[in-house]
Amino acid sequence: MEHLIYKHITQLINKGIEQDLITSRDRFYVRNQILGLLQLESFQDQVELSSESKRIPDLIDLLLSFAIETNVIKNVLDEKEILSAKIMDCFLSKPAEINAKFYQKYQESPSAATDYFYQLSKDSNYIQMNRIAKNIHYKTATPYGELDITINLSKPEKDPEQIKRERAMKQKISYPKCLLCVENEGYIGRTGHPARSNHRVIEVPLDGESWFLQYSPYVYYNEHSILFSSEHRPMKIGRHTFERLTAFVEKFPHYFMGSNADIPIVGGSILSHDHYQGGRYTFAMTEATEDFSFDLVNYPNVHAAVVKWPMSVIRLQSKDKDTLLDAATEILSTWRTYSDSAAAIEAFTGDTPHNTITPIARMRDDYFELDLVLRNNRTTDEKPFGLFHPHEDVHHIKKENIGLIEVMGLAVLPPRLKTEIDQIKAYLLDGETEVPAYHQAWAEEIKNNNNLLNETNVEEVVHQALGQKFTRVLEDAGVFKSNNEGREAFKRFIQTLNQ
């Protein structure tokens, strides 16, 4: 095994040179850093290299296996992640150098800059491409366009020892304050906090503040990026949000940028740190057509329309950014206090606010475009999870918050569904395979609606049924429903805007 480790180290370094992470001049430095991490005191240079080309993640796995066998680390998730990130950090420049190269590339074009940084984030194994490849992803046709369905299998499962360690932790460590703080850049990691030695971020000044761009380590779509404030502060949607989102897409017009809502149930998973998400991907909502347009009497040079989408979306377009921001701010301000008992919309329960917006910004044909998705997080005795939240009959598929990514038409579904979908397919064919009780009614419905099921078409039938369920999830989350009553309720809100 020790003889092979020298071969694997050499292959990893050669791969790093091939992918422009380092140059051949860096070979000895990087080698010695890796030797130190693996507690090796010498190196056998005369090793025979096979013609087989392994990818960086595969070579890292081989180095981790050696480290486990030689007791450098234990076979526990956090120790493997920490060592993996440390090894790849040997191939990376310091943050200032990477930022300088990013903005050097930006002089060529904004896309050249992000192309460089995205490739670097993948090559350095910060973006976990091997794990992401395990995800199940397909598109399914719906009345609203082709929705994306993803069963997320990329995040590693915690082994029993890892869970035991995290439960045994008694210390209260508040550094970094959260997973989004800039202090994560280069952080070695610890039990309960991910390794970030190979993590780099790009400083992007916005609206007179310091913001940073990074990519998600488990990208859900192409160039899935996160834009976060240098200050650890709670998310709050306001005019400043629209200003930053439009400022970003003006600098990077090939990206969209949006924000999760800023209140529980309809918000994202991290509300404690002001941040946005974007990327280079066309979602179904982006391509959705107008249901109907309407005038904003105070903003005649802003085109406004309601989008044909299961959630309640107002789309604003204008070449005049400041006027667009004024219009968006007025819509948000009006919506914050808007109630319509006929549509079950209440702005407050006592002093607790319920209305907010999920905004998405993009450039389209030299126009600034803002999609404002109206959200309400009110709960009732009948709907304790949320009145405008996936209802109980779709919880067997999705019961988590409907955040920015789902709003735009990409379902991020739990890993359990991979096995459960296979069980349902088997049941549809043989009528005997046991399926989880919470899926039984759905499986029967699929079977009753499809008379000619066979091994050739069963997967497509189940995929389509899953797409229909996700469509229902989005319709549940819409404050104005996709029917005549919902359209009339939406028009009542628009009338309020023009009073």
Reported as a single tens digit per residue, the pLDDT across 76-117 is: 999 999 999 999 999 999 999 999 999 999 999 999 999 999
CA distance 74 to 90: 21
CA distance 42 to 56: 23
pLDDT surpasses 90 at 270: no
Q: Is the Cβ–Cβ distance between 422 and 411 less than 8 Å? A: no
Q: Please, what is the average pLDDT of the chain?
A: 93
Q: Where are the beta strands (DSSP E) in 309-445?
A: 313-318, 348-349, 352-353, 355-364, 367-376, 410-413
Amino acid at 136: I
pLDDT tens readout for residues 11-33:
999 999 999 999 999 999 999 99
pLDDT tens readout for residues 412-439:
999 999 999 999 999 999 999 999 999 9
What are the b/e assignments for 364-378, b being 16+ CB within 10 Å? Answer: eeeebbbbbbbbbbb
Residues 6+ apart with CB under 8 A from 441: none
Bond from prior residue into 253 cis (ω within 30 degrees of 0): no
The residue with greater pLDDT, 166 or 410, is: 410
pLDDT tens readout for residues 147-188:
999 999 887 665 566 556 666 665 677 899 999 999 999 999
Indicate the range of 30-44, 50-64, 286-300, 449-463 predicted with least confidence: 50-64
Q: Is 438 exposed, middle or buried (0-12, 13-18, 19+ CB in 10 A)?
A: exposed
pLDDT surpasses 90 at 375: yes
CA distance 71 to 382: 55
- Given this model, what pLDDT does residue 161 score? 63
pLDDT surpasses 90 at 255: yes
- Given this model, what pLDDT does residue 145 score? 94
The residue with greater pLDDT, 296 or 51, is: 296
- Given this model, what pLDDT does residue 1 score? 57
Using pLDDT thresholds of 50, 70 and 90, give the confidence band for residue 51.
low
pLDDT tens readout for residues 335-369:
999 999 999 999 999 999 999 999 999 999 999 99
CA distance 364 to 317: 9
- Given this model, what pLDDT does residue 410 score? 97
Q: Is the Cβ–Cβ distance between 497 and 421 less than 8 Å? A: no
Radius of gyration of the chain (CA): 25
- Given this model, what pLDDT does residue 313 score? 98
DSSP string, 87-151: HHHTT---HHHHHHHHHHHHHH-HHHHHHHHHHHHHHTTSS-HHHHTTSEEEEEEETTEEEEEEE
Other C-beta atoms lying within 10 Å of the C-beta of residue 338: 20
CA distance 429 to 23: 56
Max Cα–Cα distance, the chain, nearest Å: 81
Structure tokens at 457: 């078409």
pLDDT tens readout for residues 464-489:
999 999 999 999 999 999 999 999 99
Per-domain residue ranges of the chain = 2-131
Euclidean distance between the first and final Cα of the chain, in Å? 77
Indicate the range of 230-239, 260-269, 304-313, 422-431 predicted with least confidence: 260-269
